């Protein structure tokens, strides 16, 4: 049984209330950090832990914190990004629903480390129940003296606010989130300046994912060195994976990074294998914006090594044969799923959610959606695949924020790996509307990599 750091007490009844959470050792990290450590010590500890941002990009959290500008007389802010809207990802909602105090505890410690006197949790508007849960938990913590003026008699003040968003996917991008938090239209800002220099209200700001902030708690409790012992290589610690799709037990699992994907997918402790006795066809490993992989390439890397659930191993092979850890939204597709339809569905989402600020994403996502719609409904042409790849290349890397990349990658990867299926949709349009392409060769063993001739 693997170690659980975040979800250790998830099954204790009443863990969402302050008293039960406290009796299970909660808020110990606040006491430890505020009473025995300096803010720099906390930052140092997080740096040592090697914790990487859990929101998708995987940027080291400690490094991000140390970039924060600290001019005299200017307020600093910590903003928690709880605008979780990636299709396939629901770990933050789970964490906020059942363990609101874990997030608040992490917020207090992180705010202390950054010297923030006011911190915000920006929750997307659809998560109204979670907003109420968090607000109640904040009131409880305040009542117990963990928030407000002079916390635990240490002289540190912190006000924590929950801000509901309007429910736009783009507001999960950190600068769009800050715009939205300021009460403006949620358009991403043009960087530089980065939020660490000029963020919320022009002040230095750190934006972190819910899970990253929650992970600070075990790091402070047990020390950064202890945290690095879990995991593999530069992927340290545990990660919440929200597994969905055609698997036997969908849900949120806490895994130690470095777990073989085969074990994650087929062991009863986690996903429990593919439902209804079917076979795996494809996997989206980290939320809709990461490249999709066929079953064979997902279970084994191109070098025929077993793939692990870690930032590096999932990215092994780059965009040619790898994918990304992303935000941990694991979606499995069985042999009866249509990749064309799925790609169209993802693109429809990005078309709907593009903010319309910069041209490649605004126009390109709509174009890709229309072409994929045509392919899916049997009116496609053979040239459409090349057109899609070309349009996705025009979008990728040329936009203000990563939404353009996120829209381009799933399309480019689906065509790279599932071109046969797209072509079958063009050659057999009437058949394609009544049945699916099936598993084909997507789960076949990988061909032996040819040894370069010496």
Provide the β-strand partners of residue 292: 284
- String marking each residue 367-386 x if it binds other proteins according to CB under 8 A: x--x----------------
CB of 368 to other proteins, least distance (A): 11
Reported as type and span, the H/E element at residue 156 is strand 156-164
Collapse the DSSP code of 280 into the 3-class scheme (helix H, G, I; strand E, B; otherwise coil) and give the result: strand
132 binds other proteins per the rule CB under 8 A:
no
Are the beta carbons of 238 and 74 closer than 8 angstroms? no
CB of 348 to other proteins, least distance (A): 11
- Single out the residue of 35, 132, 149, 393 in contact with other proteins (rule: CB under 8 A): 393
Residue in this structure with the two tokens 């105090």, named with its chain if needed: 101
Taking residue 114's Cβ as centre, other Cβ atoms within 10 Å add up to 22
- Single out the residue of 109, 399, 406, 413 in contact with other proteins (rule: CB under 8 A): 399
| Of 265, 249, 329, nearest in space to 298 by CA | 265
Encoded tokens for 53 = 């941002």
Encoded tokens for 427 = 């050659």
170 binds other proteins per the rule CB under 8 A:
yes
Stretch that binds other proteins, among 19-27, 70-78, 122-130, 395-403 (CB under 8 A): 395-403
Angle between helix axes 100-114 and 39-49 (nearest 10 degrees) is 120
172 binds other proteins per the rule CB under 8 A:
no
- Single out the residue of 337, 357, 414, 442 in contact with other proteins (rule: CB under 8 A): 357
Are the beta carbons of 219 and 46 closer than 8 angstroms? yes
Terminal CA-CA length for the chain? 46
Q: What span, in angstroms and rounded, lies between the C-alpha atoms of 211 and 116?
A: 19
Question: Which residues 8-27 are close enough to bind other proteins by CB under 8 A?
Answer: none
Residues 6+ apart with CB under 8 A from 161: 118, 119, 120, 121
- String marking each residue 216-235 x if it binds other proteins according to CB under 8 A: --------------------
345 binds other proteins per the rule CB under 8 A:
no
CB of 383 to other proteins, least distance (A): 9
- Single out the residue of 129, 145, 318, 356 in contact with other proteins (rule: CB under 8 A): 356
362 binds other proteins per the rule CB under 8 A:
yes
354 binds other proteins per the rule CB under 8 A:
yes
Q: What are phi and psi of 248, to 5 degrees?
A: -70, -50
Q: Which is nearer to other proteins, 190 or 320 (CB)?
A: 190
Cα dihedral 164, 167, 171, 172, rounded to 10, equals: 90
128 binds other proteins per the rule CB under 8 A:
no
Stretch that binds other proteins, among 61-69, 276-284, 333-341, 396-404 (CB under 8 A): 396-404
Question: Which residues 189-218 are close enough to bind other proteins by CB under 8 A?
Answer: 190
Q: Which is nearer to other proteins, 31 or 405 (CB)?
A: 405
Q: What count of Cα atoms within 13 Å lies in the side-chain half-sphere of residue 373?
A: 10
- Single out the residue of 181, 285, 400, 412 in contact with other proteins (rule: CB under 8 A): 400
Q: Which is nearer to other proteins, 301 or 343 (CB)?
A: 343
CA distances from 268 to 1, 249, 250, 272, 320 (A): 12, 8, 11, 4, 31
Encoded tokens for 111 = 């705010």
408 binds other proteins per the rule CB under 8 A:
no
CB of 78 to other proteins, least distance (A): 26
- Single out the residue of 70, 352, 419, 435 in contact with other proteins (rule: CB under 8 A): 352
Q: Which is nearer to other proteins, 155 or 192 (CB)?
A: 192
Are the beta carbons of 116 and 82 closer than 8 angstroms? no
- String marking each residue 24-43 x if it binds other proteins according to CB under 8 A: --------------------
CB of 380 to other proteins, least distance (A): 11
Reported as type and span, the H/E element at residue 122 is strand 118-123
Reported as type and span, the H/E element at residue 375 is helix 359-376
Strands 280-284 and 292-294: antiparallel
- Single out the residue of 238, 242, 310, 365 in contact with other proteins (rule: CB under 8 A): 365
394 binds other proteins per the rule CB under 8 A:
yes
Q: Which is nearer to other proteins, 37 or 355 (CB)?
A: 355
Stretch that binds other proteins, among 38-46, 51-59, 144-152, 360-368 (CB under 8 A): 360-368
Are the beta carbons of 282 and 442 closer than 8 angstroms? yes
Question: Which residues 85-114 are close enough to bind other proteins by CB under 8 A?
Answer: none
Give the Cα-Cα-Cα angle 220, 5, 76 (nearest 5 degrees): 40
318 binds other proteins per the rule CB under 8 A:
no
Binding site for other proteins (CB under 8 A): 168, 170, 185, 190, 351-360, 362-367, 370, 387, 390-391, 393-394, 397-400
């Amino acid at each position: 049984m693997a170690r659980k750091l975040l979800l250790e007490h998830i099954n204790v009844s009443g863990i969402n209330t302050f008293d039960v959470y406290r009796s299970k050792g909660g808020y110990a990290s606040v006491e430890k950090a505020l009473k025995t450590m300096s803010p720099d010590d906390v930052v140092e500890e997080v740096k040592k832990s090697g914790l990487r941002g859990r929101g998708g990009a995987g940027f080291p959290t400690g490094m991000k914190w140390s970039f924060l500008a600290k001019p005299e007389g200017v307020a600093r802010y910590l903003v928690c990004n709880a605008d979780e809207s990636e299709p396939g990802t629901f770990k933050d909602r789970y964490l906020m629903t059942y363990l609101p105090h874990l997030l608040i505890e992490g917020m207090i410690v992180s705010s202390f480390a950054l010297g923030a006197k006011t911190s915000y949790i920006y929750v997307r508007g659809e998560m109204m129940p979670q907003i109420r849960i968090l607000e109640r938990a904040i009131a409880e913590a305040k009542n117990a003296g963990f928030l407000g003026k002079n916390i635990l008699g240490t002289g540190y003040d912190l006000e924590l606010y929950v801000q509901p968003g309007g429910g736009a996917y783009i507001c999960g991008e950190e600068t769009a989130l800050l715009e939205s938090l300021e009460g403006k239209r949620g358009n991403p800002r043009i960087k530089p300046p980065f939020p660490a220099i000029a963020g919320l209200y022009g002040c230095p700001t750190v934006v972190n994912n819910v899970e990253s902030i929650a992970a600070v708690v075990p790091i402070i409790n047990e020390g950064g060195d202890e945290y690095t012992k879990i995991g593999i290589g530069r992927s340290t610690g545990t990660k919440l994976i929200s597994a969905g799709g055609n698997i036997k037990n969908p849900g949120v699992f806490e895994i130690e990074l470095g777990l073989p994907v085969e074990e994650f997918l087929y062991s009863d402790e986690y996903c429990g294998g593919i439902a209804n006795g079917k076979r795996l066809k494809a996997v989206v490993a980290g939320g809709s914006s990461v490249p999709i992989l066929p079953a064979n390439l997902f279970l084994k890397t191109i070098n025929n090594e077993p793939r692990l659930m870690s930032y590096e191993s999932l990215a092994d092979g780059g965009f040619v044969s790898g994918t990304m850890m992303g935000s941990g939204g694991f979606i499995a597709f069985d042999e009866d799923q249509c990749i064309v339809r799925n790609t169209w569905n993802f693109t429809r989402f990005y078309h709907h959610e593009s903010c319309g600020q910069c041209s490649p994403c605004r126009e390109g996502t709509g174009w890709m959606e229309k072409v994929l719609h045509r392919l899916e409904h049997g009116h496609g042409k053979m040239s459409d695949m090349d057109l899609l790849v070309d349009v996705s290349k025009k979008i990728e890397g040329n936009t203000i924020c990563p939404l353009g990349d996120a829209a381009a990658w799933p399309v480019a990867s689906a065509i790279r790996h599932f071109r046969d299926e797209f072509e079958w949709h063009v050659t057999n349009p009437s058949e394609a509307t009544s049945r699916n392409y099936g598993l084909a060769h997507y789960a076949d063993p990988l061909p032996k990599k040819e040894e370069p001739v010496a």
